[in-house]
Structure 1
């Protein structure tokens, strides 16, 4: 009886150990399956590929806009001074410009008109194109475009530096307790503000020159065309006859204006003739 009981105990213990090993293996597997793997570290090559693109995008966003000052100088002959003037004024108004100066005059050979026009820079080329219509040739045509980007950046940088310095002095003024310190800081602030106003004026003037282009236009008409240099031969003869008649009329009018002297001269001549010459 005892041997049989011992066999059952051995078999039971063997089956129990096997089940325990199986459960341990399953539990370890489940724990390994629940643990999420760590994220892969970025490779150096990938980082190297991404960084240049970011640098390029940053460089692309920092683009300097060029500041250009455009000027023009035109001089040409016209057949009608008033018509050309109206054309210039019309084109200037349509393109958002204005007439700044208007001078007219006459010399020995021509009648002329001189205009200074301010036109928005984006319409500069179109205005020149419109004014050039109908002009056979230009005595003078000068177009210039000056790049003032460096000057603009320099003034703007100095202005911002002065404003930052002003803010630092304002902070010091708030913390100052002594009257001497307050007076010294206010003196420095006064000098800095004068420099700020000067730089701001320079920057405003430069901005105006950039936004509005200046064009000087002079058009003229020869006086010879007005005086009849192309008259026919018959017209010249008729003008000579009229000129001779006008000269004779002038001489006759001059004689009439001295009639008292003529009467006196006639009376004296008659007296001398009867007194001296008649007896001889």
Structure 2
């Protein structure tokens, strides 16, 4: 009995050893096939899932925010000038001015000529590119005539231009928002109110854009008010302050006074008719007294 029991135990022991070896060999595969820990799963899923959710949830159009104009606006300076030049010949000076304008890419905006007894005047309003303004002033000062007066001014409008640009950008953003609200308006009252807001914003935007265009024009093209002046020279025989002119004026004035006196006497003709009647009555009264 004992002899049979011992071989049986040996067989059971050998089978158990083989089974443990098989489990040891297959255990790494089992470990590797297990899912990763929960912490690693949370670490792998952050950005993509959030971005996908944000893309699916927020589908409404949003107005694009433009960069602040203050970051890109250059310095804005408006230059203006006034000059008065005495010349010997207006026509010759006008031709010289035309040549100078061509060299500096300038043009005449307005022109006014006035001829009086004492002088000739040619007034010009000239627009010239900003970069050629100083060269134009120097050309007029050197070769046209004698400068009687000159006044140059510079006005820095950068702050105003920046302020208007920022407000214009904000108004455009609000305008786009109101247009989006108008698409989703459900009642007639809301639509009317939103349309009124849109109209006000569009008017304000037009005014702001016009102001920016005006400033750009004044900055890009400077303005010069040029006056060409020629004094007329008179001889003593024909001048109003000479003896001949005074004698003629006196004779004319005396004749006018005499004519005025005669006309004044004639205007009293009703009283002149009474004089003969008074004389007749006086003589008759005197004759009757003598008798």
Contact 1:89 / 1:99 at 8 angstroms: preserved in 2?
A: no
Which of 203, 206, 211 aligns to 1:194? It is 203
Contact 1:75 / 1:219 at 8 angstroms: preserved in 2?
A: yes
Superposed CA RMSD: 2.1
Contact 2:78 / 2:156 at 8 angstroms: preserved in 1?
A: yes
Which of 77, 82, 91 aligns to 1:68? It is 77
Cα distance in 1, alignment partners of residues 204 and 72 from structure 2: 29
Cα distance in 2, alignment partners of residues 107 and 141 from structure 1: 23
Task: Report deviation, 1:88.
Answer: 1.3
Cα distance in 2, alignment partners of residues 131 and 166 from structure 1: 50
Contact 2:77 / 2:155 at 8 angstroms: preserved in 1?
A: yes
1:176 — aligned with what? Answer: 185
Instruction: Find out whether 1:81 has 2:90 as its counterpart.
Output: yes
Task: Report deviation, 1:107.
Answer: 2.9
Which of 131, 152, 156 aligns to 2:165? It is 156
Unmatched tracts of structure 1, length 5 or more: 1-61, 230-239, 241-280
1:105 — aligned with what? Answer: 114
1:1-280 equivalent positions in 2, closer than 5 A: 62=71, 65-135=74-144, 137-224=146-233, 227=234
Cα distance in 2, alignment partners of residues 135 and 98 from structure 1: 17
Unmatched tracts of structure 2, length 5 or more: 1-70, 237-243, 245-291
SS in 1 for 2:143: coil
Task: Report deviation, 1:74.
Answer: 0.4
Task: Report deviation, 1:93.
Answer: 2.7
2:21 — aligned with what? Answer: none
Contact 2:93 / 2:144 at 8 angstroms: preserved in 1?
A: no
TM-score normalised by length of structure 1: 0.56
Task: Report deviation, 1:178.
Answer: 2.0
TM-score normalised by length of structure 2: 0.54
Q: 1:136 to 1:91 in 2, by over 3 A?
A: closer
Task: Report deviation, 1:135.
Answer: 4.9
Task: Report deviation, 1:173.
Answer: 1.2
1:23 — aligned with what? Answer: none
SS in 1 for 2:142: coil
Contact 2:86 / 2:147 at 8 angstroms: preserved in 1?
A: yes
Q: What are the superposed Cα offsets for residues 23-73 of structure 1, whole Å, 9 maximum, x if unpaired?
A: xxxxxxxxxxxxxxxxxxxxxxxxxxxxxxxxxxxxxxx575210000010
SS in 2 for 1:187: helix
Q: What are the superposed Cα offsets for residues 64-117 of structure 1, whole Å, 9 maximum, x if unpaired?
A: 521000001000110111111112122223322210111111234211111000
Q: 1:199 to 1:188 in 2, by over 3 A?
A: same
